[in-house]
Chain A
Amino acid sequence: MAPLLEIKDLHAEISGGRKIIDGMNLTINPGEIHAIMGPNGAGKSTLSYVLSGKPGYEITGGEVIFRGVNLLELSPDERAAQGLFLCFQYPLEIPGVSNMAFLHTAVNSQRRKRGEVELTSPELVRKVRELGQTLGINAEMLKRPVNVGFSGGEKKRNETLQMMLLEPYLCVLDEADSGLDIDALKVVSNGVNALRSPERSMLVITHYQRLLDYIVPDVVHVFAAGRIVHTGGKELALELEATGYAQYQNEAA
C-alpha cells in the first residue's frame, strides 16, 4: 500500500530567519493516526504550516509527497483540494461572512478544483445541519459570522465541523485541545473519531498527553529541535507525561 504522506529529509526556515525544521522524516499510511509531541518551541506548529503552505516559510531541502504528488509545489488552496486539512490552533475570525456561506464557498471551491459537481444550497444546508447536530452546533451559530465572538470551545467545534464537511484525506490537528474544557474536548474528539476510516489519516500535534486519551494514536513521535528524535506506540505518550522531554532535547542537541 502506498503511503498517504511521505516527508523526506525536510529542511525549512522562517523566511530570512532561523532554521526550524531540520532534516525531518515521516511516513503516514492511510488510516493511521500519528501523534507528534514535543516541547514548546520545537517547531511543531511550523510543521503544520509548512505542510499546508502558509506564506513566510522557506523550504531549503527535502520533499513531501502527498497522495502521489509533490505537495510543496502546490498553492495552499490546491493542497486543500488535494485533501489536506489543517485544524487551526487559533481559528481566524471573518467579520460579516456567515458561517454557512463560508462553508458553502469552501466546499464548492474544492469540488470545482477537483472537477466535481458543486453542491446546491439545499444540499449543503442539509448536510451542514446534520453534521452540526453531532457537534452541538445550532442554526444560530451557522448564521453568525465565521468565528466572530465564538468561545474557544465553539471555535474548535466549528473547525471540526469544517473538517467533517470537507472530508479530507489527512487531518492535521494543531493543538486541537487548547482552550477546551473537558466537555468540549469530548465533543471535538468524538467528531474526529467519527472521521476515522481506512482511507483517512490524522496527524495530531500536541504537547499534552490528555488529548490522546480521546484520540488514540497508532504511532507517537517525539519532535525536538526540528526533527523526529524518537518513535513509539501509544504508550510512549504516557511515558512522556511522566518523564518530560528533557532527555530528548539533550539527545537532539
Chain B
Amino acid sequence: MAAVQDTVEQVRSIDVDQYKYGFETDIESEKAPKGLCEDVIRYISAKKEEPEWMLQWRLDAYARWLTMQEPEWARVDYPQIDYQDLYYYSQPKAFKAPKSLDEVDPEILKTYAKLGIPLREQEILAGVEIPEGERPRIAVDAVFDSVSVATTFKEELKAAGVIFMPISEALREHPDLVKQYLGSVVPPTDNYFATLNQAVFSDGSFVYIPPGVRCPMELSTYFRINEKNTGQFERTLIIADKGSYVSYLEGCTAPMRDENQLHAAVVELVVLDDAEIKYSTVQNWYPGDADGKGGIYNFVTKRGDCRGKNSKISWTQVETGSAITWKYPSCVLRGEGSSGEFYSIAISNGRQQVDSGTKMIHLGKNTTSRIISKGISAGRSNNTYRGLVSAHRKAAGARNFTNCDSLLIGDNCGAHTVPYIEAKNPTAQFEHEATTSKISEDMLFYCMQRGLTQEDAVALVVNGFVRDVLQQLPMEFAVEAQKLISISLEGSVG
C-alpha cells in the first residue's frame, strides 16, 4: 500500500505533535473596533462598499440575532463565548483589492506558499510536469482573515462564462445574481450562528456556473485565520444553473494560539435542473493542544438546495481540526428526482469535541439520498454523529441509505450516534446501518507480526476504515486527507 507508506513517511518528516500550520504571519492589520454593535456592522458594510439593501439585510439579521439563544442541544461543552470580546473584521493593512497577483502583499503570498497553496498561476503550471491539457489545475480563492486576497485563473474561467470571485466583489459586479440567491437557502431565521454570520460576514467566495457549462477546472477556497481574537465569518454562495457541473474544494488552517477563536461560516448551494455540485472540505483548523487549550470553535452552517429536477449535491468532508466542530452539511431535496450525498470522515483526538452529521430533507418525489459517515475518536475526545433524514408527505418514493461507523482508539474517548428519522409519506424507504468498533490490540498485533510498526499498523487500519469516503475525494485532496488522518492520530496508541 504505497499510499499508506507515503503517509507514514510524510508524518515522520514532521515533528511529532506539531500542528504543521500553526505558524503566524507577521503582518499589520486593520481592524474594526472590538465587540459587536450596529456601528461595527456599518463599518464592515462601508469597507466593502456595499449597496444599501445589503447593509439593511445585515442590520435585520443583527436585530434578530439579539433575540436568539445560543443552541445547547449539541454534545459539546465549552465556556460561554463573550461576543463583545472579539474583533469582527480584520484585513491586512493598506489592503486594496488587488487587480493582479503582483499587487498581493508578498508576506501573504509567502504564507500560502508555506501552506502549500500556490497562488501564482505560473507556479501552479510550472510545478507539475504533466503534458499540456492533462494538468490538474485548480483555481484558488484565498481568504486571509476577513478578506479575499487573491483569486487565480479568473480570465480563463471568465471565458467559460464561470463567475468565481470574492463575494464582496460579486456584490458590486453581479448584484442581481447575489440578491436573487443570497440567503435563499439559509434564511435569516435559521440558527444563531448563521444569523450572526449574516450580520457580520466579511468575505467568502461566489460561484456561478451558467447553464450547460461543465466548469473547466476545480474551484477552491482556502481559508486562513491569522489575526488574534478575531472571528472569521465567511459566506460562500455557489449556484449551478441548469445542466451545469462544478467541483469545489475548501481548505482551512489557523495559527496555534492559546485562546479559542470563533469561526462561524455559512455556505449556500443552489442547484437547478439537471445540475450538480460536488463540494469537498478538508477542515484542519487548529485543534488545541493535548490538554484542550486553544483551538478553533467551528460553528458552521452548510446547506444545499436541490431546487431543480434531477439535480444533485454531494458533500464530502474530512474533519480533523477544531477544538469544537458543530457542522451539519445538508441537502434540501426539493426538485423531483434530485439526490443528495454526504460522505464524512470526522477524526477527533486530544480533547476535541465533534458534533457533526447531515440533514437530508426529502420534499420532492423520487428523491434519493445517501449518507456514509466514519467517525474516529482517539485520546480523550468525543465524537458524535447527528443526522436527520425526513420525508415530507409529498415526497413519494423517497429513499435514503445511511451508514454510520465509529471507530474508537483507546479507552478514554467516546463515540455517539444520534439519528433522527421522520417519514410522513408511506412510500418512503429509509435504511439505517450503524456500527461501533474499537481498534483492537489483536488487530494491531496481527499487522505488527507481519512487519508493520505500530504507527503503520494504526494508519493502515484507519485508512481501511475510511476508504469508502476517501474514494469520493478528488485525487489531490485524497492524498492530502490521508496524510492528515495519520498526523491527527499520532500518539493516539500507547
Contact = CB atoms under 8 A, between A and B. Distances in A.
B442 A92 contact: yes
A75 B456 CA distance: 14
Given A94-B443, A101-B1, A105-B1, A80 B465 contact: no
A97 B463 contact: yes
A110 B448 CA distance: 10
B95 interface: no
Contacts of B445: 54-55, 76
- Consensus secondary structure, chain A interface: helix
A72 to B, nearest CB: 15
Contacts of B465: 95-96
A56 B443 contact: no
**Most chain B beta-carbon neighbours within 10 Å: one of A80, A91, A105:** A105
A145 interface: yes
B290 interface: no
A214 interface: no
A51 to B, nearest CB: 10
B387 to A, nearest CB: 22
Contacts of A52: 449
B11 interface: no
B441 A106 contact: no
Contact of B449 (A76, A96, A105): A76
A55 B11 CA distance: 25
A88 B446 contact: yes
B448 A80 contact: yes
Given A97-B461, A105-B1, A92 B443 contact: yes
A200 interface: no
B288 to A, nearest CB: 29
Contacts of B4: 101, 105
Contacts of A105: 1, 4-5, 452, 456, 460
Interface string A145-165: 100000000000000001000
A55 B445 CA distance: 8
Contacts of A8: none
A110 B452 CA distance: 8
A75 to B, nearest CB: 7
Interface in A79-111: 79-81, 85-86, 88, 91-92, 94-97, 101-102, 104-110
Interface string B418-460: 0000000000000000000000111101111111111010001
Contacts of B66: none
B303 to A, nearest CB: 30
Contacts of A63: none
Contacts of A94: 443, 446-447, 460-461, 464
B464 A145 contact: yes
B450 A56 contact: no
Given A91-B446, A104-B1, A109 B441 contact: no
- The residue among A54, A75, A85, A110 with the most chain B CB atoms within 10 A of its own CB is A54
A121 interface: yes
Give the 6 A-B residue pairs with the shortest CB-CB distance, closest first. Answer: A96-B464, A97-B464, A101-B1, A110-B451, A106-B450, A109-B451
Given A97-B467, A107-B451, 4 more contacts: A88-B449, A92-B446, A94-B446, A96-B463
Interface of A: 52-56, 75-77, 79-81, 85-86, 88, 91-92, 94-97, 101-102, 104-110, 113, 121, 145, 162, 166
